[in-house]
Structure 1
């Protein structure tokens, strides 16, 4: 296994559209959302470790999830967990982790990947990652894996690539925000748009050069602590300096500004598991398209529903179509699947 290969596993999100299962205290990446016997972060770690040495996988997360990670990934050492004292989106934490990696291995190439996505055909995933690593070792490229769209989805960002580029790895023209349905249909018809899965590959040299050019203030802020990274003094520096970093995503901070950005259209099935509806797509279904996790059900005149409870709970449903039914501790959610994007707002309402 190549000792220059590293991964930054992003595991700090809350996944509020998966409420009431996913909560701030126990987010979705630490749940077995698919009923497979493994949590999402365990599945992702296992997938990455097929090509990357286990000790080279860093996990970026909020400090409140440190114990959960050590419990679910017992093969990981405390040094592999990179803790954010404040939530500042993806750019600051990626810069921080990249500087830590550079100090260990200046020849590193790395993948940055979410910890809570569903990927089918892991052999293809590993093959796509290998191709990307090969390019990033040879050239100063910032790469991403794009997903071939299967529908005009308005919940994903899109990557526009150069139509005239005949190579299998395409030059990126621009990143596009989540579109309305009319724009999404136009993207699909153009055939040179891919879904942005948030999976990035680059050499440590290339990404740090890009930060220095496009985010000089942030780069200077984190470089102040370079001498103490991977030492006992690192934590004190990060506690005092990290909250001063700008709250900005890697897409806005780097990818939308850089000119050396390329995309490989992925050859594996992917789902961001962002909503109950997207989970419904990936679960086994009965003859009426109902997906059930853990529950023992009696269903009549019920179709297209997703039902999730504690293991062994009996659920009787009659006359519901296209609903989310989730029973978790003191909360019961019965909600139309067509309005699933509103769950995030409901969680905020309940808090206030």
Structure 2
């Protein structure tokens, strides 16, 4: 029996507000390269997928604001391999549009499709490739949607978790495919510590694999609005009617595919025992760069005096600037040609609410928080 066709959709929408001023609308997060790396985040993701999915079946989904920057990075994305979403509807809209594109192009509903984030950080992708292959195998042989969960290595409050449906004392061995009991929201510190020790909680790395028909079945069961939008988009795409495609997607509420579909669907997860992080903000960059004896994560050539537990990142685009930091602790200081950021490291998740894209670049919202 022949294996079903395999496809991969790398979700690269949005420019990455939490990584400003390194990421900008003209240099979106998927195009960034970590210090010391010759590959962008997007290129590294594609490379990790191609041992499992033929290169010609690896697509990149992006919105109109970031598509040109991605094309500049990888001209091979021209043509049908770059899926430019007609309007932004978060990852729920991305999944619906990508599935509609495949169906309109004639992909059978038995085809296996994987959706992956474009901002994963993995020093060695071989373990992930093994887990991804296992997810495709499991999805091909069942009508279940299959996630990849990473065994946590720290108590992290910025990541979501998958709680496995395990009996007391049952081990979650790497490479096994186990049922998911529920999604767990980003926890507080005490709960994150419990998840670290429980043996049944995995980090949700944002990868889900399934047959097109399995996605349809899940939508039919718990998200009929997504199924209706997908079918309407397929019909419009077959007629090459861009306005109807946009109209089909417009009713989709902008939200993640986790909230819109996966939290209420029947899921399994491949247990992955790999080194993994996601470039969700400057705290993640600190972990990727590594710290010195004073707890500082440094990139570029900043001058430091009496500085501890801080991130100081000087981008090569700002190489003409001399950057000195004196007598501080727990700060993030980022200098690029685009701008300068100074904030407490523990406020990194607030950055998204401060910056917004404009036609000219990025505008900074000015907000004052009362001291209480």
Query: TM-score normalised to the size of structure 2?
Result: 0.85
Any gaps of 5 or more consecutive residues in structure 2?
Answer: 357-362, 367-372
User: What's the counterpart of residue 326 of structure 2?
Assistant: 318
Q: Which runs of 5+ in 1 are unaligned?
A: none
Matching of residue 18 in structure 1 with residue 19 in structure 2 = yes
Superposed, which structure 2 residues align to 1:125-274 within 5 Å?
Answer: 125-164=128-167, 168-229=176-237, 233-259=240-266, 261-274=267-280
1 CA distance for matches of 2:254 and 2:301? 44
Q: Secondary structure at the match of 2:261?
A: helix
Q: Output one character per residue of 1:92-145: Cα deviation in whole Å (capped at 9) or x when no partner.
A: 220221132234321321211111111232111111111111111111111111
Structure 1 340/265 Cα, relative in aligned 2: closer, same or farther at 3 Å?
same
CA contact under 8 A between 1:3 and 1:53: conserved in structure 2? no
How far does residue 328 in structure 1 lie from its aligned partner after superposition?
A: 2.1
Q: Verify the 8 A CA contact 1:85 1:243 in the aligned structure 2.
A: no
Query: Bigger CA drift: 336-345 or 86-95?
Result: 336-345
Aligned residues of 1:148 and 1:194 also touching (Cα < 8 A) = yes
Q: d(CA) in 1 for partners of 2:158 and 2:198?
A: 18
Structure 1's 173 and 179: CA in aligned 2 closer, same or farther, altered over 3 A? same
Point out the more displaced range, 160-169 or 137-146: 160-169
Q: Distance in 2 between matches of 1:286 and 1:188?
A: 25
Q: Deviations over 1:264-303 (max 9, x none)?
A: 121221101112111111114444343333x223333233
Work out whether residues 96 and 229 of structure 2, in 8 Å CA contact, stay in contact via their aligned partners in 1.
no
Q: Contact 2:22/2:338 (CA < 8 Å) preserved in 1? A: no
Determine helix, strand or coil for the equivalent of 1:296. coil
Please give the alpha-carbon distance, in whole angstroms, between the structure 1 residues aligned to 2:171 and 2:192: 24
Aligned to 1:50, the other structure's residue is in SS state coil
Is the CA contact (8 Å cut-off) linking 1:301 and 1:320 kept in structure 2?
yes
Q: Give the match for residue 57 of structure 2.
A: 56
1:14 touches 1:28 (CA, 8 Å); kept in 2?
yes
Moved more, 233-242 or 107-116: 233-242
Q: What is the distance in 2 between the residues matched to 1:16 and 1:223?
A: 32
Work out the CA distance in 1 between the residues paired with 2:40 and 2:329. 28
Structure 1 runs of 4+ aligned residues shifted over 6 Å read none
How many angstroms apart in 2 are the aligned matches of 1:182 and 1:289? 23
Q: Deviations over 1:139-187 (max 9, x none)?
A: 1111111111222211111111112266721111111111222222232
Q: Which residue of 1 aligns with 2:72?
A: 71
Would you say 1:305 and 2:319 are equivalent positions? Answer: no
Q: Which residue pairs with 2:296 in the alignment?
A: 290
Instruction: Give SS of 2:76's match.
Output: coil
Match of 1:276 among 264, 274, 282: 282
* Alignment partners' CA distance in 2, 1:80 and 1:232: 20
What CA deviation, in whole Å up to 9, does each residue of 1:189-229 have, x standing for no partner?
A: 32211111111111122112212332223312331232443
Alignment-derived partner of residue 119 in structure 2: 116
Contact 1:221 1:245 in 2 (8 A): yes
DSSP-derived class of the 1:278 partner: helix
In 2, Cα distance between equivalents of 1:144 and 1:68: 29
The structure-2 alpha-carbon separation of the partners of 1:316 and 1:160, relative to structure 1 and needing over 3 Å to count, comes to: same
TM-score w.r.t. structure 1 length?
0.90
Please say if residues 116 and 272 of structure 1, whose CA atoms lie closer than 8 Å, have aligned partners that are also in contact. yes
In the superposition, relative to structure 1, how do residues 189 and 330 fare at CA in structure 2: closer, same or farther (>3 Å)? closer
